[in-house]
């Protein structure tokens, strides 16, 4: 038994042991139960799928002493003769039509067929490679196949049923065999390796299944070869890739990362490693196309591995999920199309390396083409890169927020002077506090206004993953709240969380956008990986904890050398030597982070800033209120809002000019300085605000 090949040692002996051919074995078993067995069968299909094995099982079922039966007993003389290692039966004749397909062989078969079986119920002829029988040979067999004696059965097995003449096919029951599905074949190989007591790494079986291409016999032969050359560690992934000629996964990961980052130097370095390592460029392109196919499916179906759409070990699936997250759908589709076209062009090419380098250049340069898919790829790259880190970290102006319907109660807005011009502080009990600022329309309660020093959310890149906020940690000493009589009597002191780091400490969250920008100048792939898949999960002063969305992104960060790039950027740009710790945080930094000892900036998180106390409620209508004598007018310029043109006195016109609505709050306050200057004419306002001179004025009269 030990000297036999695996495909012979584990050849099925019953229809229940045949894998992946239930569409054939189930009808045959039912026909045997019903005792409706035909006199001739034609089994067709790819090589190594069980055609000849099923023919032998059918002969065993027909000649069993308890038969015809779908389950041979295995104990009678006929079953023992036709067993896996049996001597064979004189009543079951196997003929190789490749060497016995002539007309003379057909005539000899026809003469012997009329003799009865020696000891069995039927005399059965199994004609393998039936497509090799000549037309004259088939014509010589036609009469005996059409009207055989009661004891005679024919089983034809062929890989090319179209070469069997129609007169023979019309007299047989045709059962087409198919390739075995990869999942079924992988489970069967794992079962065989378990029976052999051999250790096989997880990544080996998908390679064997791919090499077998759905053929059970071919897959068993490849597995037998690997088991024969295995050492004490069993069959390893490196051994399988070297022996079978497949591309190592690290090379595929490197070239895919280079495509994602647009790094031409890294891509052509991989090409050099492929050629210098003795790998076949055509096989590398075929493996790269297979990898891009998996990435396209993962981008469209994130749980493709669970659904069986991708046949790969769990660690490889996680790496591919991380790679698919840094691509766009158009980029992946374009890269797969270009690699497929290049693989077609490489057939018969005299310089495969040149063709491989041209494929990489086409994938890396979408700007060199003006077709639709290249344009979409360029747009996805722009969306993925997003705005600069400094712009994303800066607080947004109130004009950047469009007015939205509030979903929850909002704090009322408070008046504030124009930010570009300074004004002397107002005095008196009715003067507004120095730190009051208008609330953003549509803002959530408790969110600090721009410029208040509270953390502001960073602008999210289009198509990017949510990242941790990168705004300032809190108000500094120069932004302290005023104390004393300048504050209204009924207003309480604002309570803010101690979110500022201690003196001399560095706030990693506020520094993170600048760190990303420094990494971007060194390696674009690392920048893409960190900006879209990582966020600052915590910082204790010496260790920077990065949270990744999944294990694949974290492993890709560790295996691609990105950690060294990040440490180099921190050391050269910010003169810090932090330890890098990676964790899996699927929340994307949106969950609450509680520091172990409080909410200080040097801990593992920051407490959210408390909302400022509500300012006095504004007037309910936009109509100009009566001037309040108790509030002296301030010399600060009036904010340019929609209420200023309302107060401008102009001659009556048949149709008032249309105004554009500003997104700023148009409700005047009681101490609005524009209320006392509503009598100014349009000339005076233009000369005062713009420093211009009116040459000529037109009216709608």
Of 86-90, 217-221, 370-374, 639-643, least confident by mean pLDDT is: 639-643
Dihedral (C-alpha) 252, 257, 263, 267: value to the nearest 10 degrees?
0
Is the per-residue pLDDT at 10 higher than 60? yes
Which of 556-570, 584-598, 614-628 is predicted least confidently? 614-628
pLDDT of residue 164: 92
Of 251, 346, 307, which is closest to residue 559 (Cα–Cα)?
251
Q: What is the C-alpha separation between 337 and 292, in angstroms, rounded?
A: 10
305-326 average pLDDT score = 85
Backbone angles phi, psi at 160, to 5 degrees: -130, 80
Collapse the DSSP code of 415 into the 3-class scheme (helix H, G, I; strand E, B; otherwise coil) and give the result: coil
Asked if residues 309 and 303 have their Cβ atoms less than 8 Å apart, the reply is: no
For range 70-77, the mean pLDDT: 89
| pLDDT greater at residue 509 or residue 446 | 509
pLDDT at 302 over 70: yes
Question: In the predicted model, is pLDDT for residue 180 greater than 90?
Answer: yes
Domains and CATH numbers, the chain: 6-176 (3.40.50.300), 182-244 (1.10.8.60), 249-385 (1.20.272.10), 463-470+502-594 (3.30.300.180)
State the first-to-last Cα distance of the chain, in angstroms, to the nearest integer: 111
- What's the pLDDT tens digit per position in 98-113? 888 888 988 988 888 8
Residue 359 has pLDDT above 80, yes or no: yes
Work out the mean pLDDT of the chain and round it to a whole number. 73
Rounded average pLDDT over 516-535: 85
pLDDT at residue 443, as a whole number = 38
Return d(Cα 511, Cα 569) in angstroms, integer. 12
Dihedral angle over CA of 247, 252, 258, 259, nearest 10: 110
Pairing of strands 152-158, 579-584: unpaired
E strand spans, 2-102:
40-44, 92-96
pLDDT, position 698: 57
Can you say how many angstroms the Cα of residue 662 is from the centroid of all Cα atoms in its chain? 42
What is the Cα 443 distance to its own chain's centre?
A: 33
Task: Say which residue, 379 or 95, is predicted with more confidence.
Answer: 95
Share of the chain above pLDDT 70, in %: 64
Q: Is 274:356 a contact under the CB 8 Å cutoff?
A: yes
Q: Is residue 551 pLDDT above 70, yes or no?
A: yes
pLDDT recorded at residue 595: 40
Could you read off the pLDDT of 113-154 as tens digits, one per residue?
888 888 889 999 999 999 999 999 999 999 899 999 999 999
Share of the chain above pLDDT 90, in %: 26
Residue 281, φ and ψ in degrees, nearest 5 = -60, -35
Segment among 252-261, 412-421, 546-555 with least mean pLDDT: 412-421
* pLDDT score at 330: 81
pLDDT tier at 396, thresholds 50, 70, 90:
very low
Q: Quick one: which of 215, 178, 208 has its CA closest to 193?
A: 208
Which whole number is the average pLDDT over 692-698? Answer: 61
Q: Give whichever of 159-168, 229-238, 594-603 has the largest mean pLDDT.
A: 159-168
Question: Ranked by mean pLDDT, which of 213-227, 343-357, 396-410, 524-538 comes out on top?
Answer: 213-227
- Confidence check: pLDDT of 245 > 50: yes
Query: pLDDT for 465-518, tens place per residue?
Result: 343 333 444 433 344 344 444 444 444 444 433 334 444 556 778 888 888 888
Helix ranges restricted to H, 536-590: 551-559, 562-574
Residues 331, 83: Cα–Cα separation, whole Å: 56
Per-residue pLDDT averaged across 566-592, rounded?
A: 79
692: pLDDT strictly greater than 50: yes
Statement: residue 21 has pLDDT above 80:
yes
Residue 12 has what pLDDT? 92
Which DSSP category does 655 fall into?
Answer: S
- Stretch 457-464: mean pLDDT: 41
Higher-confidence residue of 692 and 539: namely 539
Question: Is-contact 321 270, C-beta < 8 A?
Answer: no
- Give the whole-angstrom CA distance, residue 490 versus residue 433: 12
Tell me: pLDDT of 271 over 80. yes
Greatest CA separation for the chain = 130
Instruction: Name the least confident of 16-20, 561-565, 608-612.
Output: 608-612
Average pLDDT over residues 268-291: 91
DSSP state of 387: S
Helix axes 562-574, 551-559, angle to 10 degrees: 70
């Amino acid at each position: 038994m030990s000297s036999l090949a695996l495909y012979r040692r584990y050849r099925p002996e019953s229809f229940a042991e045949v894998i992946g051919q239930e569409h054939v074995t189930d009808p045959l078993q039912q026909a045997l139960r019903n005792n409706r067995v035909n006199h001739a069968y034609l089994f067709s299909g790819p090589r190594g799928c069980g055609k000849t094995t099923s023919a032998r099982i059918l002969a065993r079922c027909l000649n069993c002493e308890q038969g015809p039966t779908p389950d041979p007993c295995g104990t009678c003389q006929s079953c023992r003769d036709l067993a896996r290692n049996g001597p064979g039966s004189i009543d079951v004749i196997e003929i190789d039509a490749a060497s016995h397909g002539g007309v003379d062989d057909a005539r000899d078969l026809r003469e012997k067929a009329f003799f009865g079986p020696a000891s069995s119920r039927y005399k059965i002829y199994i004609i393998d490679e039936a497509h090799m029988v000549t037309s004259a040979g088939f014509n010589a067999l036609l009469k005996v196949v059409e009207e055989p004696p009661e004891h005679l059965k024919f089983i034809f097995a062929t890989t090319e049923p179209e070469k069997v003449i129609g007169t023979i096919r019309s007299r047989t029951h045709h059962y087409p065999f198919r390739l075995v599905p990869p999942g079924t074949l992988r489970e069967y190989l794992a079962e065989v390796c378990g029976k052999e007591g051999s250790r096989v790494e997880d990544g080996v079986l998908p390679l064997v299944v791919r090499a077998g291409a759905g053929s059970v016999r071919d897959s068993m032969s490849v597995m037998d070869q690997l088991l024969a050359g295995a050492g004490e560690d069993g069959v390893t992934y490196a051994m399988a890739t070297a022996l079978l000629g497949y591309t190592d996964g690290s090379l595929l990961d490197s070239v895919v990362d280079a495509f994602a980052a647009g790094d031409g130097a890294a891509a052509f370095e991989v090409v050099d490693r492929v050629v210098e390592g003795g790998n076949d460029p055509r096989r590398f392109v075929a493996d790269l196309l297979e990898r891009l196919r998996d990435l396209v499916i993962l981008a469209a179906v994130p749980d493709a591995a669970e659904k069986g759409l991708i046949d790969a070990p769990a660690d490889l699936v996680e790496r591919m999920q991380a790679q698919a997250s840094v691509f766009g759908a158009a980029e992946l589709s374009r890269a797969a199309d270009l690699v497929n076209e290049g693989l077609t062009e490489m057939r018969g090419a005299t310089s495969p390396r040149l063709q491989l380098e041209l494929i990489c250049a086409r994938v890396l340069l979408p700007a060199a083409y003006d077709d639709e898919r290249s344009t979409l790829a360029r747009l996805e790259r722009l969306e993925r890169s997003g705005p600069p880190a400094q712009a994303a970290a800066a607080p947004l102006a109130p004009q950047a927020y469009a007015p939205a319907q509030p979903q929850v109660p909002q704090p009322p807005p408070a008046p504030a002077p124009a930010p570009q011009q300074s004004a002397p502080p107002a005095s008196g009990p009715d003067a507004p506090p120095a730190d009051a600022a208008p609330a953003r329309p549509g803002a959530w309660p408790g969110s600090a206004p721009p410029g208040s020093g509270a953390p502001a959310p960073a602008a999210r890149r289009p198509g990017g993953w949510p990242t941790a906020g990168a705004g300032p940690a809190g108000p500094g000493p120069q932004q302290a709240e005023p104390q004393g009589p300048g504050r209204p009597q009924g207003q309480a002191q604002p309570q803010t969380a101690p979110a500022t780091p201690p003196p001399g400490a560095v706030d990693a969250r506020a520094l993170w956008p600048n760190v990303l920008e420094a990494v971007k100048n060194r390696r674009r792939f690392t920048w893409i990986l960190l900006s879209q898949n990582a966020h600052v999960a915590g910082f204790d002063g010496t260790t920077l904890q990065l949270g990744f969305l999944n294990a694949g992104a974290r492993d890709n960060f560790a295996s691609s050398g990105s950690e060294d790039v990040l440490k180099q950027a921190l050391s050269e740009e910010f003169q810090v030597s932090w330890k890098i710790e990676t964790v899996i945080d699927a929340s994307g930094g949106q969950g609450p982070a509680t520091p172990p000892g409080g909410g200080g900036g040097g801990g593992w998180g920051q407490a959210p800033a408390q909302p400022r106390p509500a300012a006095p409620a504004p007037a309910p209508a936009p109509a100009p209120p009566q001037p309040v004598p108790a509030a002296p007018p301030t010399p600060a310029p009036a904010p340019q809002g929609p209420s200023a043109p309302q107060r401008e006195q102009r001659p009556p016109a048949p149709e008032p000019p249309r105004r554009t609505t500003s997104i700023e709050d148009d409700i005047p306050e009681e101490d609005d300085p524009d209320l006392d200057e509503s009598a100014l004419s349009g000339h005076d306002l233009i000369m005062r605000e713009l420093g211009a001179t009116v040459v000529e004025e037109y009216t709608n009269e």
